[in-house]
Structure 1
Amino acid sequence: MQPRAPSSPWLPLLSLLFLLSSQTHTALGAVTTYGLVPAAHQTTAIPDGSAPQATLAAYDGTVLTPPAPPQPALGPDLRLPEQPRDAGAVQGLSIPHRGGAGFYGFSVEMSVITQTIGKNSTHIFPAFLNLMANIIERSGSVLVRLGGNTQEYAKFHDGLFEDGRITQKEDSGSLQTTETPAVLYTIDLFRMMANISDLIPVKWFLGLPFNDTSTFHLDIAEHGQEILGDNLVALQAGNEPDLYGPHQKRVTPYLPENYNQELESLFTTVDANERISVKNKFVAPSVSHSNPDWALDNIWSTGFIDRFASRLYALTVERYLDNNCFVNFGTGTERIPQDVFPNYLTHQTHVELLSDYLGTSALAQQANLPFIMFETNTASCGGFAGVSQSFGAAMWILDYGMQMAYSNFSNALLHVGGQNVFYNPWISPPTNQSAFNEWTVGSVFYSAMIMAEAFGKQESRIVDLQVGSPLTPAYAIYEGNTLSKFALFNYVDDRSGANDLLVALTVTGGVPASVKVKYFLAESVASKRDMTWAGQTFGNNFEADGRLKGDLNVTTINCDVTNNVCGIPLRAPSFALVFMDGSSSDSQSLELLGQATATFATTARTKGHNTATVPPEVLATSNGHAGKERQNLGSTSRGSVSGAERSAVVGFVAIVVSAVVGAWAVVRS
């Protein structure tokens, strides 16, 4: 049977009306707000494809050819080894992953905050809130980092910008060959973040500018701690310092010990700053794995961990599987999307990539520090057309998250770039189409949401079962000490059915009478539309408002108790999350969870006046670009760059928080 979830009951609606004010804030119960106001103009989604053809990477329509299915076929039967019910009997189980914080969070490039989160504290995007609510209802909270390479030249602007935005860009004046515009930000940035955290449990990381270590600019630390309080998790001290030398941000040779000395100087400055009350919540070294002189062993050999452990919240690294820098910036080796596509359709790439970090994850445990993949996605310098928003990439990112968790990473942050990158988890409409289009939710957002559901709100541990083909990886997940779920992948693209599988699950002590299964499905690994998780979807390009649509479809499968086996159908391609009967109450609550019970109504209007325009010569960002026409501007991080900037066109989608809050099923921690 495939039961439908009952519709979520609604508590009496609480209409939160916020007065428009940029100077004062109003306390409402336990919620402090800074001038949030409702809007009044409702819009509806339109069918995908009925809008004008988009030319920006975020809406690219390229569909690649899937790899040929293996010969002979893998199927029809795949039997997993008998799995202990008790975690104590499992070899190689991961560290406990703390409940209440989803494994995947998000890294938002500082230059595109007003494309992806909100325009200012009075103007937060409901689509963003709805998306985060779908993570939070499954995991308890979500981590969001604001930063990236554009944090390096961020400067505080004491005042307001003419159009009301919280950020603006100017030429950084740097001497590097690929310039990064400076991001100017106002105090309202922090108020917007605080308002978001008052509405939903979002926790934040902020990046400190590290371009001038002779005079540290610590406004971000001062205002962040003052306004965000405990919702500010930590501050990033330098982004990809291994690339400072190659990109002419420092006099070469610039080596790990030089960075250590700059950290010492930073902490001395922080100690002398009375406005920075918390002096031991930093993350570092955030290296990109692009410079052999900065191999992790070289960093740790300087005594980095012992030297700075008392100052750190976590050890951090940044890594993408590949890069598309040649096409966008003329650097490195050209990558052809069709040629690299198979690399995103196998478990083996995760195993090889993460082998570089196993020693560091062990050192982090010894130091009692979390170990975070602070920025990642499919490929740096914007990702690949046809790859980064495909169903196959979504399965790869989901598999990547589970392999990171198994490799004892504490969390990972998926990067959000802007209109000119291919891999965004979500993005607002192009500004010149704001009157008739809505948001686009990328395939990798499904990965983050499913990962949150797999781990839930309780302490969880995971093990790679290391069986079968690299095309059919499988994991077992334990909540507390009890087997809770199986995660099953089939990367093969085969409509003939020859590579559809029947996966046999066996459990020490016997399988339950039945299990429930949620499937992640699309027609092909190359598909970029019509993806569903348990029958529900966010919609295709320009259809999304951050809420899942459609009827929830959860499959109940009866098991063969006599022979101790549950047979789980797994079509080619698909992913299945199997909920074991008798698991924790947390898992049981997730079995029939679809759309989050807290939603935020989407309203929109087209802004036809006071619209920001930016000179094209300063629009390129470290993680943003508009292709070959900006070759003289662009990346500060060759090989690890990955965001984007908005198109300089008039008009802006003014999507305002209309404060209709449904029954909030998540208790904020």
Structure 2
Amino acid sequence: MAARRILPVLAASLCAFAEVSVYPYPRPSATPGAAYVGWQAYDPTTLDDPPLPNPMPPLDFQIQLDTSGNPAASQDQLGSFLGISIEMSLAEAVIGPNSSWLRPQFLNLMSTLKERGGPPVLRLGGNTQEKAELVDSIDGGGSLAKFAIGPTGFTNTPTLQFTVDIIKAVRAASDILGIKWFMGVPMNQTTPPRLEIVEQGESIMGEYLWGWQLGNEPDLYVSHNYRPANYTEEDYMAEYRTILDAVTADPLIQTKNNYGGPGVCCIWQLGDLINNQNYLGQFGSQLNSLIIEHYPLDNCDPSAHDPQQVLNSYMNHPFAVSFGQQYAAIAETSNAAGKPVILLETNTASCNGFRGLSDSFAASLWATDLALQLASVNFTHMMLHLGGQAAYYNPFVPPPHNATAPFMWTVGPTMYAILLVAEALGQTGHARVADLGANAGNQYTPGYVIYEDNQPARVVLLNYMSDTSGASDYTAHISTSASEVKVRYLIAPQVSMKTNITFAGQSFGGYFESDGLLRGDHTTETVNCSGGSCAIQVPAPGIALVFLTDSAYQPDDDMATYASTHITAMHNTAVVDPSALQTGNGMNGALRAQMKLASTSANKKNGAGRRVGEVAAGILLASGAFILGFRMLVV
């Protein structure tokens, strides 16, 4: 493995880069057979693997690749296609409180994506964007605060206040890694509309602003008690026009056509808004994208679904295909109008997902399949939602604020899918995706081909079956003139596993074990080919990413990583006070401010920095994968 470059970032939390196996809070029950009591994000409860199909599909089959350019393949896709939707209330906990204090775990995670697919595209918004108010300051000096006031619905969405420091933190992360963002604009008030985040945010975000999402899930405004019971699609259209007219008239807003919508999810049909309400025609001059928010199932009433049956139903290719096909015609219409189609918020199920499905390897398989399926029908981006401690489906999540080891995060199974999709699509921006209909369209053994310059460059093969005996592994014989190909695997022992997931031999670890860096040797297998065919084995369960050419083989393992604290060669800076390092979902920025964080500036009386040349207690291991200790010297 090539040496990794350690870049300086002054961080708001420690990264003790050693293995830990603590459960900060709450601790899973130690009594065998007892029900888990604690945050959903750390629930160890597992489900049974789905039954094996009967009859079994063919386990040895051919894959013929189209080398003529395949006009049926998708439009050009970015490696950032599969991204993350961050709930706005979590901005401070996930990204950082200001431009000087960023979470190194977040930066490390985003760096693993940039290494594979180029700068990530993320979204900051969700239910909390509708009740978010940009204010000049917050009592106690924090940058974000939550209040249990105002109208709400099933999700008990808090009222949110945040300062411009949050936007500056987002910009600072983008300056480091080139991240681009969708940012949420509230619609809970229309006379006058609340456009402060746009007025201040567009100049701060600059080139890193992908677009504004105006309104979140307006078809749920009634159930969330944001609108009266007689609120209609026509009412929504009129309100949307009112706000866009206000944008046009606002001298503080320079860009008037950077808005996405409608972001409907559940009750209204997107096709009705487009065909009956002429959504694209009415607002096209100010729209930069068509936004969809939709989950495969609604789990707001946990008694309505059996998680075990849901797990079984998700583990097949038609489940992903049917999701994409319901929007295929809309995607074609929107793209023809010059408006990219964005699935801005999704995950395994709404209202925090399903225990045992959303937090298992099954979610890795589902997310990979759905992302490539949507790419093949010309969506432009898909975002997996990050909901915090009370959600099962997080790609990653910082620990609760009262954790005993607040520096170690938890990375979920869907993060591995995001990594694989980024690597499968690569960094050229010209990847074109097609569903192979592999194995005569068998539902348990799907595959995709990714074209570069109209030639097959990479193949992704999935095995939905779960069989520890190895008897359900399959072999796909890919037609190619190459003498050898390279293969990386995303695998786990079983579909129901929550840990022991690896991609290319590497893992983020289990609960409360991640600093945001992959650990272990980066493993790539070389498969020799003969007779114009390469035999690729795909374990049950698992995903094989096959690189058909040397130029398609990425990454080069040269990525930036970020330490928890540092001393620069430029001037003396502060070392973070360990007692202040509380990075939780449940703590307001104001409370963090009360902990008297050390100054980030030189020559302040509460600074704790050492001068360059003094000993920094840190060891960079030979693998470059992690650092022991909590202070290091950057050279």
CA distance in 2, matches of 1:412, 1:148: 14
CA distance in 2, matches of 1:610, 1:102: 31
Contact persistence 1:45–1:542 (CA under 8 A) = no
Aligned residue among 203, 224, 244 for 1:226: 203
CA distance in 2, matches of 1:57, 1:656: 35
Tell me which residue corresponds to 2:65.
Answer: 83
Contact persistence 2:23–2:512 (CA under 8 A) = no
The 5-angstrom pairing of residues 364-443 of structure 1 reads 364-435=334-405, 438-443=408-413
Contact persistence 1:324–1:382 (CA under 8 A) = yes
User: CA distance change for structure 1 residues 178 and 421 in 2, over 3 Å: closer, same or farther?
Assistant: closer
Tell me which residue corresponds to 1:96.
Answer: 76
Q: Which amino acid aligns with 1:123?
A: W
Q: What is the TM-score when the length of structure 2 is the normalising length?
A: 0.85
| 1:218-274 deviation digits (Å, cap 9, x = unpaired) | 111011112111211111111111122343322343332222211211111111211
Q: CA deviation at 1:647?
A: 7.1
CA distance in 2, matches of 1:607, 1:310: 51
Tell me which residue corresponds to 2:19.
Answer: 46
Q: Which amino acid aligns with 2:90?
A: V
Which has the larger displacement, 495-504 or 254-263? 254-263
Matched, 1:646 2:628: no
| 1:469-506 deviation digits (Å, cap 9, x = unpaired) | 21111111101211101100001011222211111111
Q: CA deviation at 1:351?
A: 1.4
Report SS of the residue matched to 1:403: helix
Aligned residue among 231, 241, 248 for 1:264: 241
CA distance in 2, matches of 1:612, 1:466: 45
Tell me which residue corresponds to 1:520.
Answer: 490
CA distance in 2, matches of 1:382, 1:272: 39
Q: CA deviation at 1:402?
A: 0.3
Contact persistence 1:79–1:504 (CA under 8 A) = yes
CA distance in 2, matches of 1:176, 1:403: 33
The 5-angstrom pairing of residues 7-86 of structure 1 reads 7-8=2-3, 10=5, 15=8, 37=10, 43-48=16-21, 53-54=27-28, 55-80=38-63, 82-86=64-68
Matched, 1:573 2:525: no
Contact persistence 1:490–1:570 (CA under 8 A) = yes
User: CA distance change for structure 1 residues 323 and 207 in 2, over 3 Å: closer, same or farther?
Assistant: same
Q: Which amino acid aligns with 1:315?
A: L
Contact persistence 2:444–2:464 (CA under 8 A) = yes
Q: Which amino acid aligns with 2:93?
A: Q
| 1:354-374 deviation digits (Å, cap 9, x = unpaired) | 221011101112101110001
| 1:591-638 deviation digits (Å, cap 9, x = unpaired) | xx44x510001359776579899xxxxxxxxxxxxxxxxxxxxxxxxx
Contact persistence 2:95–2:169 (CA under 8 A) = no
Tell me which residue corresponds to 2:466.
Answer: 493
Contact persistence 1:45–1:438 (CA under 8 A) = no
Q: Which amino acid aligns with 2:283?
A: F
Q: Which amino acid aligns with 1:388?
A: S
User: CA distance change for structure 1 residues 369 and 655 in 2, over 3 Å: closer, same or farther?
Assistant: farther
Tell me which residue corresponds to 1:467.
Answer: 438
Tell me which residue corresponds to 2:631.
Answer: none
User: CA distance change for structure 1 residues 171 and 436 in 2, over 3 Å: closer, same or farther?
Assistant: closer
User: CA distance change for structure 1 residues 656 and 409 in 2, over 3 Å: closer, same or farther?
Assistant: farther
Tell me which residue corresponds to 2:327.
Answer: 357
The 5-angstrom pairing of residues 606-645 of structure 1 reads 608=579
Q: CA deviation at 1:581?
A: 2.4
Q: Which amino acid aligns with 1:646?
A: G
Tell me which residue corresponds to 2:282.
Answer: 307
User: CA distance change for structure 1 residues 68 and 15 in 2, over 3 Å: closer, same or farther?
Assistant: closer
CA distance in 2, matches of 1:14, 1:153: 36
CA distance in 1, matches of 2:23, 2:164: 40
Q: Which amino acid aligns with 1:334?
A: A
Q: CA deviation at 1:393?
A: 1.0
Contact persistence 1:559–1:565 (CA under 8 A) = yes
Report SS of the residue matched to 2:472: coil
Report SS of the residue matched to 1:432: coil
User: CA distance change for structure 1 residues 598 and 499 in 2, over 3 Å: closer, same or farther?
Assistant: same
Q: CA deviation at 1:403?
A: 0.5
User: CA distance change for structure 1 residues 605 and 524 in 2, over 3 Å: closer, same or farther?
Assistant: farther
CA distance in 1, matches of 2:443, 2:154: 41
CA distance in 2, matches of 1:566, 1:212: 59
Q: CA deviation at 1:171?
A: 3.4
Tell me which residue corresponds to 1:533.
Answer: 503
CA distance in 2, matches of 1:125, 1:266: 34
Contact persistence 1:280–1:313 (CA under 8 A) = yes
Q: Which amino acid aligns with 1:95?
A: Q
Percent of aligned positions with the same letter in both sequences?
A: 35
Q: What is the TM-score when the length of structure 1 is the normalising length?
A: 0.81
CA distance in 2, matches of 1:532, 1:263: 45
| 1:293-351 deviation digits (Å, cap 9, x = unpaired) | 43423443221111111101100101111122113xxxxx5212112111221111111
Report SS of the residue matched to 2:392: coil
Tell me which residue corresponds to 1:636.
Answer: none
Tell me which residue corresponds to 2:144.
Answer: 167
Q: CA deviation at 1:42?
A: 6.0
CA distance in 2, matches of 1:484, 1:193: 34
Report SS of the residue matched to 1:271: helix
Aligned residue among 196, 211, 236 for 2:173: 196
| 1:96-149 deviation digits (Å, cap 9, x = unpaired) | 22x4x5101111111112222213333210000000011111122111111111
Q: CA deviation at 1:575?
A: 0.2
CA distance in 2, matches of 1:271, 1:443: 43
User: CA distance change for structure 1 residues 610 and 600 in 2, over 3 Å: closer, same or farther?
Assistant: closer
Q: CA deviation at 1:207?
A: 0.9
Q: Which amino acid aligns with 2:73?
A: L
CA distance in 2, matches of 1:655, 1:483: 53
Report SS of the residue matched to 1:588: coil
Report SS of the residue matched to 2:137: coil
User: CA distance change for structure 1 residues 651 and 249 in 2, over 3 Å: closer, same or farther?
Assistant: closer
Contact persistence 2:95–2:170 (CA under 8 A) = no
Task: Structure 1: state its 5+ residue gaps.
Answer: 1-5, 17-36, 328-332, 614-644, 664-669
Matched, 1:217 2:185: no
User: CA distance change for structure 1 residues 246 and 433 in 2, over 3 Å: closer, same or farther?
Assistant: closer
Contact persistence 1:75–1:499 (CA under 8 A) = no
Q: CA deviation at 1:176?
A: 5.8
CA distance in 2, matches of 1:150, 1:403: 29
Q: Which amino acid aligns with 1:579?
A: F
Tell me which residue corresponds to 2:519.
Answer: 549
Report SS of the residue matched to 2:535: strand
Contact persistence 2:346–2:384 (CA under 8 A) = yes
Report SS of the residue matched to 2:312: helix
Contact persistence 1:393–1:443 (CA under 8 A) = yes
Contact persistence 2:74–2:433 (CA under 8 A) = yes
CA distance in 1, matches of 2:511, 2:581: 28
Q: Which amino acid aligns with 1:306?
A: G
Q: How many residues align?
A: 581
CA distance in 2, matches of 1:110, 1:143: 15
CA distance in 1, matches of 2:204, 2:238: 30
Q: CA deviation at 1:456?
A: 0.6
Task: Structure 2: state its 5+ residue gaps.
Answer: 29-37, 566-574, 601-608, 613-617, 625-635
Tell me which residue corresponds to 2:457.
Answer: 484
Q: Which amino acid aligns with 1:96?
A: D
